Amino acid sequence: NIFVIEKKKTELYQELGLQARDLRFQHVMSIATRNKRIIMRMEFLKAVITPEFLLILDYRNLSLEHWLLNELASQLAGEGQLVTYSLPFEFRAIEAILQYWISKLQGRLNTLQPQILETLEALVDPKLLSVDRSKLHILLQNGKSLSELETDVKVFKETILEILDEEEVIEELCLSKWTDPQVFEESTSGIDHAEEMELLLENYYRQAEDLLNEARELRVLIDDSESIIFINLDSHRNVMMRLNLQLTMGTFSVSLFGLIGVAFGMNLESSLEEDPRIFWLVTGIMFLGSGLIWRRLLSFLGRHLDPPLPPHVPAALKKSQPAAGRVDIKTSLKGETFGLSRSTLTNQ
């Protein structure tokens, strides 16, 4: 049965037998017991669980109507896929809330993962000479959302781990074990509700651990892609710097032999300017000399910028040790053969 009530805070905690601080609206994550009541705080989702009912506080402002009306009611009635459908009511209520929260975290990761992978695929391209700033902005926003998701999953894990480390708290979460004598007799006869509660919490702890590992792998992928982007940009920058250096050397070569043309361009009279072949001879010397100087500078640049080759190992050094081994073996075999011959002669 689902129904809606509106009460003042003072009336509510007096009716539940709680204190005002127990219903304080804090965006924290905790699971605690007070006066045979379980108080669950999953940030914006706050609930009070008793052996008879589940109370969700301030659900209208959180868009929880779909979950409350279409999913939660059927789960608590045993029509859903809850593992604890055969256990008391508080087990089903706790599992339903934990399942809702872990599915919400998983949904956030499923939304972020394709966006991040698509952005990284567009950025990590060796053909790109520059990086799209809009893609970087999208990646920055997705990285921030991923960091927030990792923080939420860590807090969820730590909250469950704190309960798993305290055996008394696990016992207190089994409300029906202490309020219903029949349930207590069943627990003493073989059905340990504390172990069932521990297994339930461990199950969602493992799910949170798997979710956190997926988020960490996505974070590592972002970091690796960032390194690849920097490597590609550095590679293109080195190509441009090398091209600039080659052009500078070419300009230097042309300028060096251009001094000949400058010398002939001065207003000085000599017998050379009267010969019609001198122009082509001087021009050819200028271009040929510039080309030779430029090739010489390029070869010098290649020797100093290319990675050095591994040192050459002479063939004699490679064969020295195996050859020595073979010589020792032959020597020992000869010695053994001679020894056998002498012993044979002596016996005869």
Decide: 96 and 75 in contact? Cβ < 8 Å. Answer: yes
Q: List C-alpha distances in Å: 150 to 28, 109, 217, 237.
A: 15, 10, 11, 36
pLDDT band at 247 (very low <50, low <70, confident <90, very high): confident
- Residue 96 φ/ψ, nearest 5 degrees: -65, -40
Q: What's the pLDDT band for 319 if we cut at 50, 70, 90?
A: very low
Considering only residues 130 and 150, tell me which one the structure prediction assigns the higher pLDDT.
150
Q: What is 114-139 written as a DSSP string? A: HHHHHHHHHH--TT-SS--HHHHHHH
Residue 283 resides in a domain: no
> Is 2 a domain residue?
no
Backbone angles phi, psi at 296, to 5 degrees: -65, -40
- pLDDT confidence band for 111 (50 / 70 / 90): very high
For residue 245, being part of any structural domain is answered with no
Q: Within a domain: residue 131? A: yes
**How confident is the model over 97-104, as a mean pLDDT?**
90
Average pLDDT, the chain: 75
Each residue of 220-239: pLDDT tens digit? 888 887 777 777 777 778 87
**Segment 158-167 mean pLDDT:** 88
The answer to whether position 261 is within a domain reads no
Give the CATH number, domain containing residue 102.
1.20.58.340
| Residue 87: per-residue pLDDT | 82
Collapse the DSSP code of 47 into the 3-class scheme (helix H, G, I; strand E, B; otherwise coil) and give the result. strand
Compute the distance between CA of residue 302 and CA of residue 290 in angstroms, rounded to an integer.
18
Residue percentage of the chain with pLDDT more than 90: 11
What is the per-residue pLDDT for 109?
Answer: 92
Q: Which two tokens stand for residue 240?
A: 């441009």
**210: pLDDT strictly greater than 80:** yes
Q: Tell which residue, 261, 303, 254, has the closest CA to residue 279.
A: 261
Q: Decide if 152 is inside a domain.
A: yes
Cβ-count burial 116-128 (b if 16+ within 10 Å, e if not): beebbeebbeeee
pLDDT score recorded for residue 65: 76
Spatial strand order in the sheet of 38-42 = 29-33, 38-42, 45-49, 54-57
**For residue 81, pLDDT beyond 80:** no
Phi, psi at residue 198, to the nearest 5°? -65, -40
What is the domain count for the chain? 1
Q: Determine the Cα–Cα distance for residues 201 and 224; give it in Å rounded to an integer.
A: 34
How far apart CA 268 and CA 261 sit, in angstroms, is 13
> What is the residue whose two structure tokens read 């001065």?
266
Query: What Cα–Cα distance (Å) separates residue 201 from each residue in 40, 177, 216?
Result: 13, 18, 22
Alpha helices in the chain (DSSP H): 9-16, 65-66, 73-76, 89-123, 133-164, 167-173, 175-179, 181-188, 193-265, 277-305, 315-347
Residue 182 belongs to domain spanning: 9-237
**Residue 104 included in any domain:** yes
Domain-located, residue 165: yes
- In degrees and rounded to multiples of 5, residue 141 shows phi and psi of -65, -45
pLDDT band, residue 116 (cuts 50/70/90): confident
pTM of the model: 0.65
Distance CA 199, CA 219 (A): 30
